[in-house]
Structure 1
């Protein structure tokens, strides 16, 4: 999955500007499924039919990443910007970014004062992103235009995936794991299902604009019939020493089986099925209660007449930064549990709220 993840995180696709990712995913999965389509917002639907009739299962992961968008070009060639998704102002200074223009990709940096000026500044001050700027090396507004940058040009962190430490750690650092990691799991699973008998129908939905309010999933959910749904996303761990961390979720300890977040209370029958399968297959997992996050599962659960929905979470450190960290063991555990869930489905499988 490493090569797949590297290709996915190298793509430029902030919220509302996911075109390169939508196209890449569509082309990658076409040979693996029976039907592929892209809707008006950019959501990619990939449906694969099983060898026997059975329930309609939907799995989702979002393609967008947090980023920025050019708001204004200053006379001296510096660029003002707005956020696309939940970026923390404390993380922005002196980071490399990548701009996507009609002429190609450009490298920029979010500027800051030199360390030599720090003694004349308020060291405790966190400047709002609207006070910051992106420097692409241009001398003036005219040169910015010549380079292809305009108001509305999308911006992401500069792609930079590599091993954290070295290959012995099994951990990777880079941008966009939220949620290209989930996309990588779904694509890998579609590859494995291409050689496996299963019951029912599986539809993989790669969604857009999750980071700005689950917008793609809200639209996508109305377009599919589902008897059960599983959303895949990364989740923030709490295993570092800051005083706000409580140690309830750790990197490298297995996939997270969602109990609750601010967008979803996981359907009990789906959550219990995932826990039982993880125990049976000896797949490492952690139960996740984290109200500080939301996923496409929240939108899926409210679709049509309501869909029994669960979530598998890939633990991540330093989320929404250019140096997100994930562990390959968690990625594999997520894929294995999702696969076990799909293969456990039978023609009569039902996920009812009240057990009779």
Structure 2
């Protein structure tokens, strides 16, 4: 799954500009499902029927990544920018980016003053993103235009995929693990279900624009009937030494079975079923209570007459930064729990309140 993660995170797909990810996923899973389509706003929706009757289950992960968008081109070729999704202004300085020009990706860097000027500056000051700029190595507005860049051109982080740690227990550092890691889990589940008997029908929703208000999932879920749903996303761990960290969720300790976040109080039947399956199959898990995050599970839960929804979270350090870190053991645990859920389905199964 590491190679799949590398491929997915290398694609540029910020909120509203997920085209390369949508097209890749559609092509990649085309021969693994019964049907797959891209809807008018970019969601990839695929269906795979089991060989036995059973419930319809919606499985979802979002494909967009946080990014930026060009707001203004200065006369000297520097780019002013606006945010796509949630960013922390404290970590923007001197970070590499890729500007998605019409003629191809252009490398750049978010500018900052030289360390030699720091003694003349206020060292405690955090400049807002609106005060910052991106340098792409040109010196005029005309050169920017020649590169296919204009107001409205999207931008993503420019960091590269890297494997960290020991070979038998690797961790991954990359941009866009939120939530290409969830997409990779669902694709891998599809791979492992080929020629495997299961009950019911699976609907896979790879959603756009999660980072700007769960928009893709809200739109898609309104016309998808499902008996239950599971959303796969990353979540912020609390296992580092900062004073605000409470050590309730850790990297490398298993998939997070969500209990509550700001978008969703998880359906008790779904939560209990996921916990039971994790115990039964000896899959490492952690219970997640974290009001500082929301997922597409919150959008799906509202759809139709209400869909019983569970959420599995891949623990992540440095979320919404250019150097997100996840543990492959947690990714595998998430994949195994999704697969165990699917293989446990049977005819007549319900998910009562």
For the aligned pair, the TM-score class normalised by the smaller chain equals over 0.9
Aligned equivalents of 1:132, 1:101: Cα separation in 2: 20
Post-superposition offset of 1:170: 1.1
Q: Which moved more, 1:208-217 or 1:165-174?
A: 165-174
Instruction: Report the secondary structure of 1:81's partner residue.
Output: strand
Aligned equivalents of 1:64, 1:214: Cα separation in 2: 10
Post-superposition offset of 1:53: 1.1
Query: Counterpart of 1:118?
Result: 118
Per the normalisation by structure 1, the TM-score is 0.98
Query: Counterpart of 1:281?
Result: 281
Query: Counterpart of 2:239?
Result: 239
Matched, 1:21 2:24: no
Query: Counterpart of 1:163?
Result: 163
Aligned equivalents of 2:283, 2:164: Cα separation in 1: 24
Aligned equivalents of 1:167, 1:19: Cα separation in 2: 33
Alignment of 1:121-132 (within 5 A): 121-132=121-132
Instruction: Report the secondary structure of 1:69's partner residue.
Output: strand
Query: Counterpart of 1:250?
Result: 250
Post-superposition offset of 1:195: 2.5
Q: For the Cα contact (< 8 Å) 1:61–1:206, is it kept in 2?
A: yes
Tell me the alpha carbon deviations over residues 169-208 of structure 1, each in whole angstroms, 9 at most, x when there is no partner.
4111110000000000000001111121100000110000
Per the normalisation by structure 2, the TM-score is 0.99
Post-superposition offset of 1:166: 5.0
Unaligned runs of 5+ in 2: none
**TM superposition outliers: structure 1 runs of 4+ over 4 Å:** none
Instruction: Report the secondary structure of 2:200's partner residue.
Output: strand
Post-superposition offset of 1:124: 0.4
Q: For the Cα contact (< 8 Å) 2:73–2:151, is it kept in 1?
A: yes
Aligned equivalents of 2:128, 2:169: Cα separation in 1: 36
Alignment of 1:113-152 (within 5 A): 113-152=113-152
Count of residue correspondences: 353
Matched, 1:312 2:312: yes
Alignment of 1:179-194 (within 5 A): 179-194=179-194
Q: For the Cα contact (< 8 Å) 2:102–2:147, is it kept in 1?
A: no
Q: For the Cα contact (< 8 Å) 1:9–1:159, is it kept in 2?
A: no
Tell me the alpha carbon deviations over residues 300-351 of structure 1, each in whole angstroms, 9 at most, x when there is no partner.
0000000000000000000000100000000000000000001101011100
Post-superposition offset of 1:120: 0.2
Instruction: Report the secondary structure of 1:167's partner residue.
Output: coil
Query: Counterpart of 2:37?
Result: 37
Post-superposition offset of 1:159: 4.1
Q: For the Cα contact (< 8 Å) 2:62–2:208, is it kept in 1?
A: yes
Alignment of 1:170-209 (within 5 A): 170-209=170-209
Aligned equivalents of 1:325, 1:169: Cα separation in 2: 13
Q: For the Cα contact (< 8 Å) 2:181–2:233, is it kept in 1?
A: yes
Aligned equivalents of 1:177, 1:20: Cα separation in 2: 16
Query: Counterpart of 2:350?
Result: 350
Q: For the Cα contact (< 8 Å) 2:169–2:328, is it kept in 1?
A: no
Post-superposition offset of 1:164: 2.0
Aligned equivalents of 2:169, 2:188: Cα separation in 1: 22
Aligned equivalents of 1:123, 1:167: Cα separation in 2: 40
Aligned equivalents of 1:120, 1:18: Cα separation in 2: 42
Query: Counterpart of 1:78?
Result: 78
Post-superposition offset of 1:165: 3.9
Tell me the alpha carbon deviations over residues 227-252 of structure 1, each in whole angstroms, 9 at most, x when there is no partner.
00000000000000000000000000
Matched, 1:87 2:95: no
Unaligned runs of 5+ in 1: none
Please report the RMSD computed on the Cα atoms of aligned residues, expressed in angstroms: 0.7
